[in-house]
Structure 1
Amino acid sequence: MSDKELLIPASQVDASAINARTRRGRIQMLFLLLACASPVLASYFAYYVIKPEGGKTNFGTLVYPAQEFNTAWLDAPLQGKWTLLVARPAGECHIKDEKCIEALFLMRQTKVAMGRESERLQLIWVNTDGKPVDPEVLKIYDEKTAGLKVLTLPSDPKQRADFETWLNKEGVGQEIQLIDPSPAKMMYFPVTNSPKEFSSMKKDLEKLLKLNHKGENL
């Protein structure tokens, strides 16, 4: 200890050390509070400054919150499966009817484009008028050839009304609707014959099938 330190009263040395420790403690406490508060601060910053836009897709529109599907509506195993669903009247769906055939063709080609993952994706056409399907259409788009299940609307009036409300919610009744394995509608796609838009739809589904196995073993 130096001569100068020997001249400083012990009480002052103790007070100086205590003050230094107090300052360090306050700084440590401040850092701890900032660490605890950072998630909250980040969320406020993201919400009020960045303005979140939701999940990103290449082509499809996300449905948030997802719209639950009642498995009693259709005679098909939707729980535990990824499903593309389209609703069209069979009486108006002929080979020369571009609007209907484009939807069926797009769904079939999308399933084929999934490659090894194609078995995880099922295709459903809800026949909304209950009329017989055109034999030419059925030959190309039946379950064996194209993996397309043709189903009718629920026979029970209440269930039919509920299904139609679900189908047409937000005005997307004519779109191709993607149902997740829970099952619930979580995305929809417009019908398109554009190769670029088909590629974007394919990328959306590839991403989902790659990253999500939610409920597939139910």
Structure 2
Amino acid sequence: MSTQSPRSAQVAQPAASPAQKDAHKDAKRRGRWTLLIIALICGAPIAISYFTYYVIKPKGGTTSYGALIEPQRPIPDALMVTGDDGHEVPLASLKGRWLMISVNGGDCDEACATKLYFMRQVRATQGAERERVVTVWLRTDDASVPAKVKGAYADTRMLRADPVAVAAWLPATQTTKDTDHIYLVDPNGNLMMRFPANADPSKIKQDVTKLLKWSRIG
């Protein structure tokens, strides 16, 4: 009589019952739902931030005062600026904080001074959040800045830049020039908003306040 060793013996596996198959399917289904829920939980803050960041409708569907720039325009790598120290650097080197940008010649007429004043005041009214904002004046010529302007806006970065390169990056309207507007650039270096000519500073403040509140970048 021949016998089979334990190694060679084949033990037949019982077929799964319908109940076991159903339980297995339920377990797989629960696993998929669990993964989906985890993905939604992780992705929700990003989606909410994106929505409020670009659409800015956190209250009652109100829209932004500034015109959203779509598609966004990153700071061109070739856009160089020069400070009073004579060193030329890429404007993109200022990425990391919110930039409020004004464009004018160095002599800074009344309209120029008004924009600089509005930017300074909007930044100041952000309280503890103001350090997230940098005011920038792109000077499009070699004219000397009046001493009273330089003294009044010591916290504003006054940088010389090529006017052609600046105009190519900053969009105006059919009836305005880049020198008529205040622009807002996000901490990632994307131009995202243009405020109207002769803007209302209180409404600029509302937009900036919302952006700082609803976006944690910068």
Could you tell me how far apart the structure 2 residues matched to 1:118 and 1:83 are? Answer: 11
Residues 14-50 of structure 1, C-alpha deviations (whole Å, 9 max, x = no match) = xxxxxxxxxxxxxxxxxxxxxxxxxxxxxxxxxxxxx
Answer whether contact 2:76 2:169 (CA < 8 A) is retained. no
Could you tell me how far apart the structure 1 residues matched to 2:63 and 2:77 are? Answer: 27
Could you tell me how far apart the structure 2 residues matched to 1:72 and 1:57 are? Answer: 33
What letter is aligned with 2:158? V
The structure 1 residue matched to 2:65, chosen from 56, 59, 62, is 59
Q: Do structure 1's residue 122 and structure 2's residue 130 form an aligned pair?
A: no
Q: CA RMSD in A?
A: 2.1
Residues 145-201 of structure 1, C-alpha deviations (whole Å, 9 max, x = no match) = xx20000014xxxxx6433211245455121000011111100112547xxx32221
Q: Do structure 1's residue 99 and structure 2's residue 111 form an aligned pair?
A: yes
Could you tell me how far apart the structure 2 residues matched to 1:132 and 1:67 are? Answer: 30
Question: 1:71 offset after TM fit, Å?
Answer: 4.5
Answer whether contact 2:142 2:160 (CA < 8 A) is retained. yes
SS of the residue corresponding to residue 90 of structure 1 reads coil
Answer whether contact 1:106 1:191 (CA < 8 A) is retained. no
**CA shift in 2, pair 1:163/1:192, >3 Å:** closer
What letter is aligned with 2:67? T
**CA shift in 2, pair 1:107/1:153, >3 Å:** same
Higher helix share: 1
Answer whether contact 1:127 1:152 (CA < 8 A) is retained. yes
Residues 58-106 of structure 1, C-alpha deviations (whole Å, 9 max, x = no match) = 4211111111112542335322111000010012x1xxx3211111100
Task: Give the unaligned 5+ runs of structure 2.
Answer: 1-54, 57-61, 82-88
Could you tell me how far apart the structure 2 residues matched to 1:172 and 1:82 are? Answer: 22
% same residue: 30
Matched positions, count:
146
Instruction: Find the counterpart in structure 1 of residue 101 from structure 2.
Output: 85
The structure 2 residue matched to 1:148, chosen from 145, 152, 156, is 156
Q: Do structure 1's residue 204 and structure 2's residue 207 form an aligned pair?
A: yes
SS of the residue corresponding to residue 100 of structure 1 reads helix
Give the TM-score normalised by the residue count of structure 2: 0.60
**CA shift in 2, pair 1:61/1:168, >3 Å:** closer
Residues 99-143 of structure 1, C-alpha deviations (whole Å, 9 max, x = no match) = 11111100000010111100000010011112110111111112x
Question: 1:211 offset after TM fit, Å?
Answer: 0.9
Give the TM-score normalised by the residue count of structure 1: 0.60
Could you tell me how far apart the structure 1 residues matched to 2:211 and 2:115 are? Answer: 21
Could you tell me how far apart the structure 2 residues matched to 1:58 and 1:168 are? Answer: 18
Answer whether contact 1:126 1:153 (CA < 8 A) is retained. yes
Answer whether contact 1:103 1:191 (CA < 8 A) is retained. no
**CA shift in 2, pair 1:71/1:121, >3 Å:** farther
